[in-house]
Amino acid sequence: MKRDIVCIIPSRFESSRFPGKPLADLCGKPMIQHVYERALRAQALPYVAVATDDERIYDAVKKFGGNVIMTSAAHRSGTDRIAEAVKSLKLSDDAIVVNIQGDQPVFEPAQVDEVIQPLINDASIVMSTLIYKIILDEEIKHPHAVKVAFDKNNFALYFSRATIPYVRDSKMKAAYYKHHGIYAYRRDFLDIFTTLPEGKLEKLEALEQLRALEYGYKIKVVITPYDSIEVDNRQELEKVRQLLKNEKN
């Protein structure tokens, strides 16, 4: 199978905060189906698949007619799961693999074009991701909103659940940016990523992207104008349910 760009949605059933989250009902469909169908609406994606280690998710995707790839249950992160999944697709080394988290059922399809553009424009870039300027004060200190600091060339310096940057002088103000769980990688970089030992910072913050930074790889960040809700609990699921109802109306 030769495709320039593919999208793999990593999905697992177990979750400490919300077990069975991918199969949670959202307006008559499991959440994973909403993510899958949104990905199909992205013009740049000729192929979308779910990667999972759970037969319940596998069967649900098959039921709605989606592509699904069964993977090992031993993966440390969604990126590791994707790396296994793409091996069966026989992609070229410079193919672009898009990672959309399975808990983002209302992301904007145009974000796929945004995240892949750096890899299309610059052959030296191996990984990119989206960030969004925080406008809600409550997100600045919330650990579920992962913050990012980046350099003048829009390469990530650090990701943290803590509030970064820290403003020492109360007379100064900072712009805060949060990370969206949408990535793009070159296919050959995924092989490298999976051979790297778990990073110390990755383990402390429980953020897989820190592994790349710890081992000296650059992550290009793209500022998107679109916000997106990541469903971490049932309260956020209800918020998304209302958004979908409003969108339908």
Contacts of 87 (CB under 8 A, 6+ apart): none
- Residue 65, amino acid: G
More confident residue, 161 or 76: 161
pLDDT tens digits, residue range 1-27? 444 899 999 998 877 677 788 998 888
Question: In which element (H, E) is residue 55 found?
Answer: helix 55-63
Mean pLDDT for 25-32 is 89
Question: What would the mean pLDDT of 88-111 be, rounded to a whole number?
Answer: 92
53-60: which pairs have CB atoms within 8 A and are 24 or more residues apart?
53/12, 53/81, 54/11, 54/12, 54/13, 54/14, 56/13, 56/20, 56/23, 57/11, 57/12, 57/13, 57/22, 57/23, 57/32, 60/22, 60/23, 60/30, 60/32, 60/33
Can you list the domains of the chain with their CATH numbers? 5-242 (3.90.550.10)
pLDDT exceeding 90 applies to what percent of the chain? 75
Can you say whether residue 121 is alpha, beta or left, with left for phi > 0 and alpha for psi between -120 and 50 degrees? alpha
DSSP structure class, residue 234:
H
What pLDDT is attached to residue 16? 62
Residue 203, φ and ψ in degrees, nearest 5: -70, -40
State the pLDDT at residue 249. Answer: 66
Among 6-15, 152-161, 232-241, the minimum mean pLDDT is found in 232-241
Contacts for 73 with CB less than 8 Å, ≥ 6 apart? 53
What angle do helix axes 55-63 and 31-40 make, rounded to 10 degrees? Answer: 50
Any idea of the CA torsion for 61, 67, 71, 73, to the nearest 10 degrees? -20
Give pLDDT tens digits for 185-206.
Answer: 999 999 999 999 999 999 999 9
Give the percent of the chain with pLDDT over 70.
Answer: 98
Residue 246: pLDDT band (50, 70, 90) is confident
| Alpha helices, H only, 67-153 | 78-87, 110-121, 137-140
Pairing of strands 156-160, 220-223: unpaired
Q: Which has more confidence, 105 or 155?
A: 155
pTM of the model: 0.92
Virtual torsion, Cα 124, 175, 230, 210, nearest 10 deg = 40
